[in-house]
Each structure stands twice: as C-alpha cells, then as structure tokens.
C-alpha cells in the first residue's frame, strides 16, 4: 500500500482520536497538500512546529493501528470481498458447487477476521 493511501486510511480510522489542533494541522498538510510554511503562517506557529506535529500525528496513528489493527482488517476484508466479486463475475468457467465452495471459504475467512 502506498504511503498516501496508508496515511489516509489511518486518519479515516483514527483521526477522531487526535486533538482538534492535531487534526487541523494533519488535514492541512497530509490531506489537503498545503506546505508546512503555509500551515505555519496560517496557524501562527513555526514551520518546524508543523513538521514535528505531522511526525507526531503519524506516530500516534500508527500506534493505534499497531494496537487495534482496524486498517489491516479493513484492507483484508476488502480484498476478500473483491475476490468474491471476481468469482461471481466470472462464474461461467466454474461449476456451481466449485463456485459456492470458494465463496464459502472466502466468506468464512471474512467472518473469522471480524
């Protein structure tokens, strides 16, 4: 998974656990692609302060993921649902029993993760 997608998913899942100020800075730089200088000027803090805040927020979000694994579970379930989608879309090449067995295996994997 690329870095931007990872940061976005981490923020989507855990962003509400950051303070308002942390969210404001993180959203501006990471999600809205403002420069550190622009955010520093807007908020009346140093460029280094913005940089440190982004690093700190990244660590905080990563720590939540290490403990809770919500993003990794989400990605795994999404991949499995996509597998089911592909199987059902290309079902002409498979017998009904074989298709149902594969779908059942995948869905059991999803249920175990949840």
pLDDT tens figures, 7-61: 999 999 999 999 999 999 999 999 999 999 999 999 999 999 999 999 999 999 9
pLDDT category of residue 94 using cuts at 50, 70 and 90: low
pLDDT at 91: 72
What is the length of the chain? 114
* Interatomic CA distance for residues 25 and 53, integer angstroms: 7
Token pair for 61: 């979000």
Q: How far is CA 65 from the centre of its chain?
A: 9
86, burial (CB in 10 Å: exposed 0-12, middle 13-18, buried 19+): exposed
Maximum separation of any 2 CA atoms in the chain, in Å: 65
pLDDT at 84: 86
């Amino acid at each position: 998974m690329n870095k931007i997608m990872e940061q976005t998913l981490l923020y989507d899942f855990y962003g509400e656990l950051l303070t308002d100020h942390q969210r404001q800075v993180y959203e501006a730089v990471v999600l809205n692609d403002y420069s550190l200088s622009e955010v520093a000027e807007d908020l009346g803090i140093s460029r280094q302060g913005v940089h440190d805040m982004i690093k700190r927020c990244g660590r905080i979000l990563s720590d939540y993921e290490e403990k809770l694994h919500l993003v990794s579970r989400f990605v795994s379930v999404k991949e499995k649902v996509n597998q089911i989608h592909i199987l059902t879309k290309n079902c002409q090449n498979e017998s009904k029993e074989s298709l149902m067995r594969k779908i059942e295996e995948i869905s059991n994997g999803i249920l175990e993760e949840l």
